């Protein structure tokens, strides 16, 4: 683990990103107080946000994220319909 200040991180960002690719965690501080931890994407914790988990899945090649510059729309609402479940209809069609 490496502890650095924001100014040092800004000055040598590429170097510290190379360290994270090697699996080294970087603790970023401001005025001596830790404010962030940088780590390799494959070391995403269970408590990570949905965006972090999606980024980790993309790094492993499991999914493909939208083009850069577009944001993920995670506020989709379920669609409710009357009648049989779609899964039941699908299973019946397969028989």
Domain of residue 33 covers: 2-94
How much is the pTM? 0.53
Q: Which pLDDT value is given to residue 15?
A: 96
pLDDT tens profile 64-79? 877 655 565 667 777 7
Q: Is 31 left (phi over 0), alpha (psi -120 to 50) or beta?
A: left
- Model confidence pLDDT, tens digit, residues 8-60: 999 999 999 999 999 888 888 888 888 888 988 777 776 677 777 777 777 77
- Reduce the DSSP state of residue 78 to 3 states and report it: coil
CATH code for position 48: 3.40.1620.10
What's the confidence (pLDDT) of residue 72? 59
Helical segments of 39-83, H only: 50-59
- Tokens linked to 66: 């939208």
Domains in the chain: how many in total?
1
Sheet bearing 26-30, strands edge to edge: 2-5, 26-30, 33-38
């Amino acid at each position: 683990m490496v502890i650095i200040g924001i100014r040092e991180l800004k000055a040598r960002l590429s170097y510290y990103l190379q360290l994270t690719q090697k699996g080294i965690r970087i603790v970023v501080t401001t005025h001596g107080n830790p404010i962030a931890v940088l780590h390799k994407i494959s070391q995403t914790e269970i408590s990570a946000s949905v965006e972090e988990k999606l980024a980790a899945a993309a790094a492993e090649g499991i999914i493909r994220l939208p083009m850069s510059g577009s944001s993920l729309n995670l506020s989709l609402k379920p669609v409710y319909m009357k009648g049989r479940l779609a899964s039941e209809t699908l299973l019946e069609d397969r028989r």
